[in-house]
Every structure is written in structure tokens, then in C-alpha cells.
Amino acid sequence: MQSSSFDLIQTTAVLKNRWRTILLFVVAAAIIATITVFLVPRYFRSTGTVVSANPALADKARLFNSNVQILYSYFGTGDDLDRIYGIADMGGTYAKLVDEFSLIDYYQLKNDSASILKSKAAKCLRKDIHLEKTEQNQLQIIAWTKNKQLSADLVNRMIAIIQETEMDVWQKNYRHSQDELNSSITTLEKEYQSLSDSLSTMHSGKQQLAVAQMQTIAEQIRQYRKTADEFRLASQTPPAALYVMEAASPAAYAERPDKPIIILTSCLVAFIFSSLLVLVNDRKKMA
């Protein structure tokens, strides 16, 4: 019975005898890989790193109580970073980038309506931008494009959009609270004026009650105006939503395709494939 075990000596001998065939495969693979990597588009990577700010610092009390700055850390938690991640990954964020950087033209999209083209460009952009959370509670925003300046600009603009979006939410809440207080002030002022106008027609017992009520209303108005001013000042000086640890900058060289790795990998695959091919062919001849 013929042994089917692996014979190292025989295998080495076959590979030595057919080295020219193996070399031909390797050289051909190297040439094809080299031509390919120099023909495909080059992609540049830019990375920006941010950390979340503590949302507790959005409290208006930070402006009027120095202890607030001591009580709260400047940096947020992992949950706060998730919120930053969520804003970055919103469809509206990608839509803004598509419009601001004319990405429909960059991705060479055409023959559809404007809304469809914008949607397609946003999908392409999602593939070129990667959001990664690190173990240090940092968010890395990575962009790959064929233009090194565009990669950096996309990352930095996305960071700015995240900041603007969260600050806009805070400012809307501040303004809403201020409007509610101003409405209450107007109502109290009318009530105060009504009591003041009718004061002369009241008998002495009712006048005393009315005066006390007017004093209470006046104190409420004073407190409401003070709080409304605090909200107004808070809306004008919103805290940071995030801190930029590292802004994106244009890459010095293209990182995709990785030419040396691709060429070496192609040569290795060609060597393994051709070696197996000559061994199988030799085994068939001996059978």
C-alpha cells in the first residue's frame, strides 16, 4: 500500500525542481499587485479626538456660585460620551457635511433628484467616516477621503457641528425658561396693577389684605426678574459641550492602499498557491 503521509524530502525536491514555475507566479503576482496599487485611488486619513464636557456645567448656577465649578468635574462620563456619539451619528450631521462640502460632486453622483443624491452622498460619507470610542472615554472621529485637506476639514467640521447642536439645545432651554418667567411676570404685574387700582375703593380691612398681597406679588416679580436675567446670561454664555484633545490635520501621505503590505501579501499568496499547484501536479503524475 502506498503511504499517504507527508514526505518532506520529496516535497522539498519537487519545489526545488519547479522553482522557476513558482518564481514566475510570484513575479507575475508582484507585477499585477504593483500596477493595481498605483492605479487605484489613494486615500488619506485624518483623525480628531474629543472628550465630553460635564453637562452639569450647563446649570445657570455656575455663573453665580463659584462652588459649582469646584463641585463638578470639567469632564463628562461614558454616558455623556454616548450622547456626543449620538449627535455625531445623526442623519442631520451627515446632511450638513454633504451640503457644506459639496460631497455630491465629490462622490460623482448624478442622474437623480436632489434629495436622492443628497441621501446617496450621506450614505457614502458614512462609509468614509468612522466613530470610535476608546477605553479612556474619548471619541475618535476618523475620515478617509481622496483629498487630504478634505479629510481634515470633515472631521473638524463634524466636531464643530456636535458642539453647535448641543449648545443650541441648551440655549433653547434657557430661552424657553426665560420666556415662561417673563410671561409669569407680565401676569403678576397685571394682578398687582389691578389691586393697586382698586385699593382706594376698599374698606380698611380689605386694604390691609390687599397691601400684603401686593407686597407678596412685588417680591415674586423681583425674584422672577432675577431668575429671568440669570437665564438670559446663561443663554449668552453656554458652556462647552466637548473638549477637543486633538484636532484633525491633513495627512502627510496616503495610507490606503498600503502598497508594501499589498505587494508582499500578493507575493506570499502567489508563492503558496504556486507551491501547492506544482505539488498537486507532481502527485498526479506519480499516481
Asked whether residue 2 is assigned to any structural domain, the reply reads no
Task: Confirm whether 281 is domain-assigned.
Answer: yes
pLDDT, residue 69, reads: 55
What backbone phi and psi angles, to 5 degrees, belong to 51? -125, 155
Domain region containing 170: 41-256
Question: Which amino acid type is present at position 170?
Answer: W
What pLDDT score does 4 carry? Answer: 47
SS3 state at 108: coil
Give the per-residue pLDDT at 61: 61
Q: Buried b / exposed e across 68-88, counting CB within 10 Å, b at 16+? A: eeeeeeeebeeebbebbbebb
Residues in the chain: 287
- Whether residue 154 is found in the same domain as residue 19: no
Q: What is the DSSP string of 243-278?
A: EEEE-----SS--BS-HHHHHHHHHHHHHHHHHHHH
* 242-246/139-145 β-pairing: unpaired
Select from 252, 230, 176, 226 the least CA-distant residue to 68: 230
Q: Indicate if 278 and 181 belong to the same structural domain.
A: no
Q: Has residue 66 been placed in a domain?
A: yes
Q: Which residues, listed in sequence order, are joined to residue 51 by a DSSP beta bridge?
A: 243
The answer to whether residue 150 is domain-embedded is yes
Strands 44-52 and 242-246: antiparallel
Q: What is the DSSP string of 133-184?
A: E-TTS-EEEEEEESSHHHHHHHHHHHHHHHHHHHHHHHHHHHHHHHHHHHHH
Query: Which phi and psi (to 5°) does residue 73 adopt?
Result: -70, 155
Q: Please check whether residue 57 lies inside any domain of the structure.
A: yes
* Number of domains into which the chain is organized: 2
Helix (H/G/I), strand (E/B), else coil: 65: coil
The 10s digit of each residue's pLDDT in 173-218 is 888 989 999 999 999 999 999 988 888 788 877 888 888 999 999 9
Q: How far apart are CA 170 and CA 53, in angstroms?
A: 13
Residue 140 pairs in a beta bridge with: 49, 132
Pair (180, 250) in one structural domain: yes
Helices and strands counted in the chain (H then E): 10, 4
Residues 233, 262, single domain; the answer is no
* Upstream peptide bond of 41 is cis (omega within 30 degrees of 0): no
Assign residue 213 the CATH number of its domain: 3.30.1890
Instruction: Measure the CA–CA gap between 168 and 150, rounded to whole angstroms.
Output: 26
- Same domain? For 54 and 133 the reply is yes
In a shared domain, residues 127 and 142: yes
| Within-domain flag for 101 | yes
Q: Is residue 277 domain-shared with residue 252, that is, in the same domain?
A: no
Q: Is residue 1 part of a domain?
A: no
pTM of the model: 0.74
Statement to judge: residues 160 and 46 lie in one domain: yes
pLDDT of residue 67: 59
**Are 71 and 128 found together in one domain?**
yes
Residues 132 and 145 in one domain: yes
Q: Give yes or no: residues 162 and 184 share one domain.
A: yes
Q: Is the dihedral of CA 204, 206, 208, 214 positive or negative?
A: negative
Q: Running DSSP on this structure, what letter comes out for residue 42?
A: P
Output the pLDDT for position 133.
93
- 210 and 78 together in one domain: yes
pLDDT at 1: 39
pLDDT in tens, the chain (287 residues): 344 445 677 778 877 888 888 889 889 988 888 887 777 788 999 999 999 988 777 666 666 665 555 566 778 788 889 999 999 999 999 999 999 999 999 999 999 999 999 999 999 999 999 999 998 889 999 999 999 999 999 999 999 999 999 888 888 888 898 999 999 999 999 999 998 888 878 887 788 888 899 999 999 999 999 888 888 888 887 778 899 999 999 998 887 777 788 889 988 998 899 888 888 887 777 65
CA torsion sign for 78, 84, 90, 94 is negative
Name the burial class of residue 12, with classes exposed (0-12), middle (13-18) and buried (19+) by CB atoms within 10 angstroms of its CB: exposed
